[in-house]
Each structure stands twice: as C-alpha cells, then as structure tokens.
C-alpha cells in the first residue's frame, strides 16, 4: 500500500473554489429548468381554464428556460473538468471568452424578457 503525498494547501483551496463555482452553476441550472417547467405548466393551465385569456408565449419562455438550464448544467460539468485538470497541471488561466459568452447570454435573455414583458 503506497501512501499518496497530500496536495499542497494552495491546490486544495483552488479545487474547493472550483467545486463551489460548479455547485453554484448547478443550483442556477436547477432553478432555471424547474421554473421553466412551472411556467410552461402554468401557461397551459391558464390556456385550458381561461379560453379568453391571452397566453402569448408563456410555454415558449418556459421551454427556453429549460433548454438554457440544461445547457448551463452541461457547460458547468465540462468547465469543472477543464479547470480541475488545469489546476492539477498548474496551468490554470481564467477563461475570458467563457465569461464574456455567459454574460452575453444572460444579457440577451434579460433583454428578451424585458421586451416580452413590455410587449404584453
């Protein structure tokens, strides 16, 4: 039985930070797709019980939230693996492209939600 040398404290802290970041993305993904499902179901309920009500695109927004949530969960798992390997190799560099793309997606979704709310 060989004893493994413990990881340096700095690396442990980096791995724990990476794990916290991953879990934050997972929580956000769960919220997105559960709220998307709720919105989808609620818009169907309103459409069935209030034929005179205008349910324009609630189900589409709900479906979009589910798709974004699942995509975020997949991206988070990929990103967690990449960063873990980079930390182990000592080559970690923050991904400006990933952060800019994620910010752009949030900006576009926020703008679309604002337009949708104002349009109604």
Indicate whether 4 belongs to any domain.
no
Residues 58-105 have pLDDT tens digits of: 778 888 889 989 999 999 999 999 999 999 999 999 889 988 988 998
**Structural domains in the chain (count):** 1
Residues 24-48 have pLDDT tens digits of: 999 999 999 899 888 888 888 877 8
Indicate whether 60 belongs to any domain.
yes
**What distances in angstroms separate CA 111 from CA 34, 45, 63, 64, 81, one per listed residue?**
21, 26, 17, 14, 31
Indicate whether 35 belongs to any domain.
yes
Indicate whether 64 belongs to any domain.
yes
Indicate whether 119 belongs to any domain.
no
Q: Which of 106, 117, 112 is nearest to 32 (CA)?
A: 106
**Domain ranges, residue 67:** 9-93
CA distance 20 to 48: 42
pTM of the predicted protein model:
0.74
Indicate whether 98 belongs to any domain.
no
């Amino acid at each position: 039985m060989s004893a493994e040398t413990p990881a340096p404290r700095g690396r442990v802290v980096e791995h724990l930070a990476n794990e916290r970041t991953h879990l934050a993305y997972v929580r956000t993904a769960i919220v997105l797709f559960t709220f998307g499902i709720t919105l989808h179901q609620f818009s169907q309920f309103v459409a069935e019980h209030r034929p005179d009500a205008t349910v324009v695109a609630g189900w589409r927004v709900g479906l979009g939230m589910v798709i974004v949530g699942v995509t975020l969960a997949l991206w988070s798992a990929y990103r967690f693996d990449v960063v873990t390997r980079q930390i182990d190799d000592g080559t970690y560099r923050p991904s400006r492209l990933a952060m800019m793309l994620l910010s752009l997606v949030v900006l576009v979704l926020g703008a679309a939600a604002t337009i949708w709310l104002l349009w109604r």
